[in-house]
């Protein structure tokens, strides 16, 4: 392993649990895989209740969901740290699409499974989804975007960017996360 290769899991406080909330009926097996993969990555994750998405969250002209609406819905559905999952494509104002979004800092994140399948098989899909889930939960804890292309906190513009990065934190992000944890 190279010296600067990211090698730390995202640290969360003891008892800090990520509640995965399926929205608008994503495939059940993919939802379960996300929960299992988060657990394997060393995070406490549990499956929450499924929600329908209100019509106001859907932009019919774009064929995409508004990420902010899903964050608001996730916050309403559960008072813990929440990760909404949808199979539909997402956007925030001023972008063509986003892989996900998060309150940064806050407690709500959302990941879209829509683009994770692009040019990838099941294992690639799972790994991409895990990386973006970790990044967005990391954003809720206050971690910033990272310039290290292999760090999980590196913001991906393309699925190739996601494939390039690891699912772990670089040394600088790990230090920042550990400091935040000690302060909380
Ligand atoms: Zn980093």
Q: How far is the CA of 31 from the centre of ligand 1 (A)?
A: 26
- The pLDDT, as a whole number, for residue 2 is 65
Domain membership flag for residue 7: no
Q: How far is the CA of 165 from the centre of ligand 1 (A)?
A: 10
CA distance 125 to 115: 9
Rounded average pLDDT over 25-39: 97
Q: How far is the CA of 154 from the centre of ligand 1 (A)?
A: 7
pLDDT for residue 28 is more than 80: yes
pLDDT for residue 3 is more than 80: no
pLDDT digits (tens, 9 = 90+) for 52-97: 999 999 999 999 999 999 999 999 999 999 999 999 999 999 999 9
Domain membership flag for residue 5: no
pLDDT for residue 125 is more than 70: yes
Residues with CB under 5 A from ligand 1 (ion): 146, 148, 151, 153, 170, 173
- The pLDDT, as a whole number, for residue 183 is 84
Domain membership flag for residue 135: yes
The confidence band for 184, taking pLDDT boundaries of 50, 70 and 90, is confident
pLDDT digits (tens, 9 = 90+) for 96-121: 999 999 999 999 999 999 999 999 88
CA distance 130 to 10: 12
Provide, rounded to the nearest whole percent, the portion of the chain with pLDDT above 90: 92
Q: How far is the CA of 3 from the centre of ligand 1 (A)?
A: 14
Q: What range does the domain containing 108 cover?
A: 18-183
Angle at which helix 122-140 crosses helix 28-40, to 10 degrees, equals 60
Q: What is the mean pLDDT of the chain?
A: 95
Q: How many domains, the chain?
A: 1
Q: How far is the CA of 178 from the centre of ligand 1 (A)?
A: 13
Domain membership flag for residue 11: no
- The pLDDT, as a whole number, for residue 121 is 85
Domain membership flag for residue 167: yes
- The pLDDT, as a whole number, for residue 1 is 56
- Whole-prediction pTM: 0.96
β-bridge pairing 81-86 and 90-91:
unpaired
Domain membership flag for residue 124: yes
CATH of residue 29 = 3.40.390.10
Neighbours of 83 (CB within 10 A): 27
Domain membership flag for residue 4: no
Q: How far is the CA of 118 from the centre of ligand 1 (A)?
A: 25
Q: How far is the CA of 146 from the centre of ligand 1 (A)?
A: 5
Q: Is the dihedral of CA 172, 175, 178, 184 positive or negative?
A: negative
Instruction: Give me the residues paired with residue 112 across strands.
Output: 86
Q: How far is the CA of 58 from the centre of ligand 1 (A)?
A: 33
| Class of residue 141 by CB neighbours under 10 A (exposed 0-12, middle 13-18, buried 19+) | buried
User: Residues 6 or more apart from 65 whose CB is under 8 A from it?
Assistant: 24, 53, 57, 58, 59, 86, 88, 89, 90, 91, 112
Domain membership flag for residue 10: no
């Amino acid at each position: 392993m190279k010296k600067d290769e990211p090698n730390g899991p995202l640290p969360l406080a003891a008892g800090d649990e990520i509640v995965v909330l399926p929205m608008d009926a994503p495939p059940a097996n993919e939802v379960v895989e996300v929960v299992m993969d988060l657990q394997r990555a060393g995070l406490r994750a549990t499956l929450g209740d499924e929600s329908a998405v209100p019509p106001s969250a859907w932009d019919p002209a774009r064929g995409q969901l508004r990420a902010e609406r899903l964050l608001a819905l996730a916050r309403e559905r559960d008072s813990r740290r929440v990760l909404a999952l949808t199979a539909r494509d997402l956007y925030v104002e001023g972008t063509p699409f986003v892989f996900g979004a998060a309150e940064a800092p806050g407690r709500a994140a959302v990941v879209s499974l829509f683009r994770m399948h692009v040019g990838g098989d099941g294992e690639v899909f799972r790994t991409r989804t895990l990386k973006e889930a970790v990044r967005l939960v990391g954003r809720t804890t206050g971690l910033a975007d990272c310039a290290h292309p292999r760090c999980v906190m590196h913001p991906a513009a393309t699925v190739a960017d996601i494939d390039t990065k690891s699912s772990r934190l670089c040394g600088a992000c790990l230090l920042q996360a550990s400091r935040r944890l000690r302060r909380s």
